[in-house]
């Protein structure tokens, strides 16, 4: 499958976010929040294009995930850092890949423990389909429908350039193999 | 080698002692604790990880401070907390440790925090409990106090991030100190190149050199150019017999004063696990001075205990856990007869 160039998707969502921030009603009380790790990379790139200063922060949301009882804590957690006052802010929440919506739910729950935002807008690089909750991104770079056994990863190289990679977990192939033995 | 603290996948199952824990696990606990430092600085100092779980603090030996920090840690993870001061309850009526524990298991406890005057008590309980229950040692005799050791290295790491380039001195009653043992294990595992112990001969266990430390009997010589000074409490209540002439005499030779602190590096930090005996092992001006990180230790202690509980409490499906508990806790005949009545 031909994957889109993440750098041009970033330009797209940056432009949309900048348009939203240009709205004088929202501009003064807006803030950006990136979800670790991909969302934070994207946020930093967007921040570098802004001409004015805007409050921003980072979230991990691992402490609010609904799969803790099954999986425990993931190996590498990043501390959340929301140094601004969340109360009454218009928050633009940034993540790299939108899938089940569960990370977004966890991130929103964590955000509400810092205060009551005026609104939350979700911006993602890619919506890969498969939402399991009534949650959807408002700002999207691209929609790519993927199968459950496929996994899309955003990475950042040492020069800060973004890359997308698609991995396929070969479940069906192993099943076929088992079937042929029977 | 079989390690009762780790499960089959090498994840932390119980925290009984730092001895034998791989560096990977120690770093995982310390890294996780970084996340929890931030939680305590928010307006809502609570996360939902242990919602619906019950943590039992079983204290066979009194310790208000340690019990309080475990209680705060568990509550900030949204767990329900039950405190049992067993010294003042059932045990004085003749109940055995395992009977006490079995009763709490029957009440569906999920995690035990155990403090006992006997070395090995937490280990003993960990071997007894069913698979879905985790045990944290909150101090057993002279043996270990792993969360204190971890919070001390966490504090050091926060002020002196380059652990591979540090000189750390532990000063005082090493003989009676379970904290000292846990600290030495943690520091050497994390690669601190030079750990010194400074104490009179009567307050040092024999063969302490085998733990990889340098021994000093003179405070001034031992403090020279150290980055971290960890004062230990003079354990009055543990001392049976005259190991020291007097508290005043001890302060004169082994008490940390401003003057002696100047022998360490200018940016050295001073630590104390508490409770402090001011004027015995540490002078008030040092304890309250600019190089003291004694109160940050207390703050970080909560984050570290939250990290340990969070790592122990997850990663097991609730369904399996409940099934395991019923399966092992009650005889099957009891369950079937209950079904028959219904």
Q: B163 and B264 share a domain? A: yes
User: Tell me, what's the pLDDT at B234?
Assistant: 85
Q: What is the CATH number of the domain that holds B273?
A: 3.40.50.1370
- C-alpha distance from B139 to closest chain A C-alpha (Å): 26
Angle at A60 between CA A58 and CA A61, to 5 degrees: 120
Q: Are A147 and A153 in contact (CB under 8 A)?
A: no
Structural domain count of chain B: 2
Q: Do A69 and B317 touch (CB under 8 A)?
A: yes
In this prediction, residues A106-118 reach a mean pLDDT of 95
Indicate whether B7 belongs to any domain: no
The answer to whether residue B117 neighbours chain A at the CB level (below 8 Å) is no
Residue B331 predicted with pLDDT over 80:
no
Q: B157 and B289 share a domain? A: yes
Which residues, in sequence order, are bridge partners of residue A33?
Answer: A57, A93
Element (H, E) at A153: strand A150-156
Chain A residue at shortest CA distance from B303: A79
Q: B154 and B206 share a domain? A: yes
Q: B139 and B207 share a domain? A: no
Residue B342 predicted with pLDDT over 60:
no
The answer to whether residue B31 neighbours chain A at the CB level (below 8 Å) is yes
Q: B227 and B251 share a domain? A: yes
User: Which residues of chain A have a CB within 8 Å of the CB of B38?
Assistant: 79-81
- C-alpha distance from A170 to closest chain B C-alpha (Å): 23
Closest CA to B21 of B34, B32, B10: B10
Among A68, A75, A80, the residue with its CB nearest the CB of B28 is: A75
Q: Do A72 and B314 touch (CB under 8 A)?
A: yes
Q: What is the 3-state secondary structure (H, E, C) of chain B?
A: CCCCCECCCCCECCECCCCCCCHHHHHHHHHHHHHHHHHHCCCCCCCCCCCCCEEEEEECCCCHHHHHHHHHHHHHCCCEEEEEEHHHCHHHHCCCHHHHHHHHHHCCCCEEEEEECCCCHHHHHHHHCCCCCEEEEEEECCCECHHHHHHHHHHHHHHCCCHHHCEEEEECCCCCCHHHHHHHHHHHHCCCCEEEEECCHHHCCCCHHHHCCEEECCHHHHHCCCCEEEECCCCHHHCCCCCCCCHHHHHHHHCECHHHHCCCCCCCEEECCCCCCECCCECHHHHCCCCECHHHHHHHHHHHHHHHHHHHHCCCCHHHHHHHHHHHHCCHHHHHHHHHHC
Indicate whether B69 belongs to any domain: yes
Q: Which two tokens stand for residue B116?
A: 């006992």
Q: Which residue has the tokens 């004027």?
A: B279
Q: Do A73 and B43 touch (CB under 8 A)?
A: no
The answer to whether residue B190 neighbours chain A at the CB level (below 8 Å) is no
Give CA–CA dist A152/B79, Å, rounded.
35
Q: B101 and B73 share a domain? A: yes
Q: B152 and B136 share a domain? A: no
The answer to whether residue B24 neighbours chain A at the CB level (below 8 Å) is no
pLDDT digits 0-9 by tens, B114-154: 999 888 999 999 999 999 999 999 999 888 999 999 999 99
Report chain B's C-alpha Rg in angstroms: 21
Residue A96 predicted with pLDDT over 90:
yes
User: Which residues of chain B have a CB within 8 Å of the CB of A71?
Assistant: 314-315
Give CA–CA dist A48/A123, Å, rounded.
17
Cβ count near B2 (within 10 Å) = 4
B145 belongs to the catalytic site: yes
User: Tell me, what's the pLDDT at B65?
Assistant: 87
Indicate whether B335 belongs to any domain: no
- C-alpha distance from A95 to closest chain B C-alpha (Å): 19
Q: Do B11 and A63 touch (CB under 8 A)?
A: no
Q: B265 and B141 share a domain? A: no
User: Tell me, what's the pLDDT at A171?
Assistant: 64
Element (H, E) at A142: strand A139-143
Q: B230 and B279 share a domain? A: yes
Q: B274 and B309 share a domain? A: no
Indicate whether B201 belongs to any domain: yes
pLDDT band at B218 (very low <50, low <70, confident <90, very high): very high
For residue B198, what are the domain limits? 146-294
Q: B95 and B118 share a domain? A: yes
Give CA–CA dist B183/B151, Å, rounded.
9
Closest CA to B222 of B167, B271, B165, B279: B167
Is residue A39 helix, strand or coil?
helix
Closest CA to B31 of A37, A75, A68, A59: A75
User: Which residues of chain B have a CB within 8 Å of the CB of A109?
Assistant: 48
Give CA–CA dist A46/A49, Å, rounded.
5
User: Which residues of chain B have a CB within 8 Å of the CB of A115?
Assistant: 43
Which 35-74 residues of chain B touch chain A by CB within 8 A? 35, 37-39, 42-44, 46-49
Among B39, B48, B315, the residue with its CB nearest the CB of A71 is: B315
Q: Which residues have C-beta within 8 Å of that of residue A169, sequence separation ≥ 6?
A: A149, A150, A151
The answer to whether residue B7 neighbours chain A at the CB level (below 8 Å) is no
Q: pLDDT averaged over chain B?
A: 88
Q: Do B314 and A62 touch (CB under 8 A)?
A: no
Q: Which residue has the tokens 């001011």?
A: B278
Of B116-120, B167-171, B311-315, B328-332, the poorest mean pLDDT is in: B328-332
pLDDT digits 0-9 by tens, B243-291: 677 888 889 999 999 999 999 999 999 999 988 999 999 999 999 999 9
Chain B residue at shortest CA distance from A78: B35
What percentage of chain B has pLDDT greater than the value 90? Answer: 68
In this prediction, residues B54-58 reach a mean pLDDT of 96
Q: pLDDT averaged over chain A?
A: 91
pLDDT band at B92 (very low <50, low <70, confident <90, very high): low
User: Tell me, what's the pLDDT at B246?
Assistant: 80
In this prediction, residues A115-128 reach a mean pLDDT of 96
Q: Are B234 and B173 in contact (CB under 8 A)?
A: yes
The per-residue b/e assignment along A147-172, b for 16 or more CB within 10 angstroms, e otherwise, is eeeeebebebeeeeebebeeeeeeee
In this prediction, residues A121-149 reach a mean pLDDT of 96
Q: How distant is the alpha carbon of residue B121 from its chain centre?
A: 14
Annotated active-site residue in B23, B45, B46, B65? B65
Cβ count near A19 (within 10 Å) = 10
What percentage of chain A has pLDDT greater than the value 90? Answer: 79
Q: Do B38 and A73 touch (CB under 8 A)?
A: no
The answer to whether residue A127 neighbours chain B at the CB level (below 8 Å) is no
B66 belongs to the catalytic site: yes
In this prediction, residues B10-34 reach a mean pLDDT of 94
Indicate whether B341 belongs to any domain: no
Q: B140 and B240 share a domain? A: no
Annotated active-site residue in B13, B17, B53, B66? B66
Is residue A90 helix, strand or coil?
strand
Phi-psi bin for A135: left (phi > 0), alpha (psi -120 to 50), beta? beta
pLDDT digits 0-9 by tens, A51-77: 888 999 999 999 999 999 888 888 788
The per-residue b/e assignment along B237-249, b for 16 or more CB within 10 angstroms, e otherwise, is eeeeeeebeeeee
> Which numeric CATH code is attached to A6-149?
3.40.50.2020
User: Tell me, what's the pLDDT at B241?
Assistant: 60
Among A69, A113, A115, the residue with its CB nearest the CB of B314 is: A69
Q: Do A79 and B35 touch (CB under 8 A)?
A: yes
- C-alpha distance from B49 to closest chain A C-alpha (Å): 6
Q: Where a domain ends, among B294, B309, B337?
A: B294
């Amino acid at each position: 499958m031909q994957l889109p160039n993440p750098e041009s998707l970033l330009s797209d969502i940056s432009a949309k976010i900048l348009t939203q921030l240009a709205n004088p009603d929202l501009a003064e009380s807006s803030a950006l929040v990136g979800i670790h790790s991909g969302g934070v990379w994207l946020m930093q790139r967007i921040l570098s294009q802004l001409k004015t200063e805007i409050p921003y922060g980072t979230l991990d949301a691992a402490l609010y995930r609904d799969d803790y009882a099954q999986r425990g804590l993931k190996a590498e957690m990043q501390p959340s850092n929301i140094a601004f006052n969340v109360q009454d802010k218009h928050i633009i929440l940034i993540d790299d890949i939108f899938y089940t919506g569960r990370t977004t739910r966890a991130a929103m729950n964590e955000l509400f423990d810092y205060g009551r935002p005026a609104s939350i807008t979700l911006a993602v690089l890619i919506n890969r389909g498969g939402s399991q909750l009534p949650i959807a991104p408002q700002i999207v770079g691209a929609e790519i429908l993927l199968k459950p056994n496929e996994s899309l990863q955003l990475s950042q190289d040492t020069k800060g350039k973004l890359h997308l990679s698609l991995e396929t977990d070969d479940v069906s192939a192993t099943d076929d193999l088992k079937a042929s033995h029977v | 080698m079989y390690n009762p603290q780790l499960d089959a996948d090498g994840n932390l199952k119980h925290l009984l002692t730092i001895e034998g824990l791989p560096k990977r696990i120690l770093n995982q606990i310390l890294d996780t604790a970084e996340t929890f430092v931030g939680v305590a600085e928010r307006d809502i100092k609570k996360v939902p990880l242990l919602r619906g779980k019950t943590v039992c603090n079983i204290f066979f030996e009194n310790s208000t401070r340690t019990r309080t920090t475990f209680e705060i840690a568990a509550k900030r993870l949204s767990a329900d907390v039950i405190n049992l001061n067993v010294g003042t309850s059932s045990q004085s009526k003749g109940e055995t440790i395992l009977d006490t524990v079995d009763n709490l298991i029957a009440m569906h406890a999920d995690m035990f925090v155990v403090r006992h005057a006997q070395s090995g008590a937490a280990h003993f309980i960990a071997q007894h409990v069913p698979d879905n229950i985790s045990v944290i040692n909150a101090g057993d005799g002279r043996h270990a106090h792993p969360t204190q050791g971890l919070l001390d290295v966490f504090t050091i790491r926060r002020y002196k991030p380059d652990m591979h380039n540090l000189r750390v001195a532990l000063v005082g009653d090493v003989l009676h100190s379970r904290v000292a043992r846990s600290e030495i294990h943690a520091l050497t595992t994390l690669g601190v190149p030079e750990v010194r112990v400074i104490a009179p001969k009567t307050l040092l266990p024999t063969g302490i050199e085998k733990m990889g430390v340098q021994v000093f009997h003179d405070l001034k010589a031992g403090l020279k150019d150290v980055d971290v000074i960890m004062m230990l409490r003079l354990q009055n209540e543990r001392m049976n017999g005259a190991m020291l002439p007097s508290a005043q005499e001890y302060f004169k030779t082994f008490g940390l004063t401003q003057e002696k602190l100047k022998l360490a590096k200018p940016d050295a930090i001073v630590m104390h696990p508490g409770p402090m005996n001011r004027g015995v092992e540490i002078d008030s001006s040092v304890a309250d001075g600019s190089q003291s990180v004694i109160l940050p230790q207390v703050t970080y202690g909560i984050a570290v205990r939250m990290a340990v509980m969070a790592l122990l409490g997850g990663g097991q499906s609730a369904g399996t856990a409940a099934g395991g508990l019923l399966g092992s806790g009650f005889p099957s005949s009891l369950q079937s007869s209950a079904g028959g009545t219904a």
